[in-house]
Amino acid sequence: MVVKPLLPVLGLAAFAHATYDVVEEISGYKFYHSGPTNAATKSSYETKFCHTALQKFSADTNVSDAACLSTLRALKASKTPEELLSHFDADIREADATWHAVVHDSTGAAHVAATADVVVVVPGITSLSFAAYYLSAYAQESYQKINAEHYINRDDSAPGTQEILEGWGGVTTHFSLATTDRGQFSYLPALPEFAIKVASDKILRDGTGTKFGVVDIALQDVVGPQAGLEEGEQGVHILSSVWYGDGAPRGFVEVEAEHVVVKIVNHALNAKAGYDNGAIVLRELLAGLCALFPTMGGVCGLNSWRMYFRPVCVVDTLGNHGRGYWFPARYFRSFGSKVPGGWLCKLKRNSSPSVAPVDISRYVGASRMRRSGRRGR
């Protein structure tokens, strides 16, 4: 592991450079990362968060660093989501009060970001395969092991929304994560070089509907020294920021930046394992991915029509040339109306869809695109 000199500032300008604070090898793969003021290895952050989480369970605080994660995972797995919500009830109410104070104390004129800037050098993991992994049931089922303070991640009844219970340095928050229009946030950087970008609102689940933050994730494939890598290295540049109003304490921002570094590295390792063992099949997730990111060149068969219709039929340009796959209509909630769908469609290039176009962005987000893995016959 190499720790390079710290960047002088944590602002966006810091991420235009091609050097990283930490370069480390994990499970035989290389990771470059910057963002937290306290530059350290992924395991350093993770071990700290693990002991914080164990304290929340009133567990044995004398557990060794080596045994911490396995002990914690067993504890979390032993409880149902409802039991976890009950266990953390007091923490959740305290976090609600904290975030309401942050919103109240913020001017609205400025924002601060907890940013993790990571390059993942893992064979088989590209911006496309990493984004598709996020849509898989495998990713959701792995949620608790991705970060020590991850407790609940399940689809909500609201379209395009997930119910989340997780903590950052002990601030255990119960919130909804709702995919939204990235363009509405003028303070988010444009990042034109990133082909894949998605933003989600963080909304308290205390009944107030308070939006207290925005998660912004951008992905691009990178190669070589210009990207801060060694000659010939290929990787995925993942820039993940959680934006809050300027009333957020800097200590919160720092801890969450560390949390996000751990999350990205562990997601990359988990994605690699999922593809290698066959639990994730990229081709089976393409329809959902293209519905979210229809402008991805060379991947989505847009031809002369737009992807925004129900049910979604995607032309597979990665080898099947002209064969399309229905994306199951049940993943597109039309506020009570049922949309017929199928598993297979056949389209000729430059043909028009057989169903009327409709913008799906209000109906569906990443959480609704999971479990799309049945193939048409």
Q: pLDDT for 88-123, tens place per residue?
A: 999 999 999 999 999 999 999 999 999 999 999 999
Entry pTM: 0.76
So what's the pLDDT on residue 223? 85
Among 156-165, 175-184, 313-322, the range scoring the smallest mean pLDDT is 313-322
With contact defined as beta carbons under 8 Å apart, do 327 and 287 qualify? yes
| Domain 2-276: top CATH class | alpha beta
Q: Is the pLDDT of residue 335 over 60?
A: no
At residue 177 the predicted structure's pLDDT band, cuts being 50, 70 and 90, is: very high
- Which 3 state secondary structure label does DSSP give 334? strand
Residues of the chain by 3-state class (helix, strand, coil), percent to 5? 35, 25, 40
Residue 43 has a pLDDT of 98
Q: Is the per-residue pLDDT at 317 higher than 70?
A: no
Determine contact, residues 344/329, Cβ cutoff 8 Å. no
Q: Is the pLDDT of residue 303 over 70?
A: no
CA 281 to chain centroid, in Å, comes to 18
Percent of the chain with pLDDT over 70: 70
**Beta strand pairing call for 211-223 and 196-204:** antiparallel
CA dihedral (75, 76, 79, 85) positive or negative: positive
- Residue 336 phi, psi (nearest 5): 105, -25
Element (H, E) at 190: none
pLDDT at 156: 85
Residue whose tokens read 């598993």: 343
Q: Tokens 């951008």 map to which residue?
A: 218
Reduced to 3 states (helix: H, G, I; strand: E, B; else coil), residue 92 is helix
d(CA 255, CA 242): 11
Q: Summarize the confidence of residues 127-156 as an average pLDDT.
A: 92
Work out the pLDDT band at 71, boundaries 50, 70, 90: very high
In the chain, domain spans: 2-276, 281-377
Residue 6: pLDDT band with limits 50, 70, 90: very low
Residue 167 has pLDDT above 80, yes or no: yes
Which of 52-66, 73-87, 228-242 is most confident? 73-87
Mean pLDDT: which of 125-134, 250-259, 351-360 is highest? 250-259
**How far apart (Å, rounded) are the C-alpha atoms in residues 219 and 210?**
28
- Per-residue pLDDT at 169: 84
Please classify residue 54 by burial: count the beta carbons closer than 10 Å to its beta carbon, then call 0-12 exposed, 13-18 middle and 19+ buried: buried
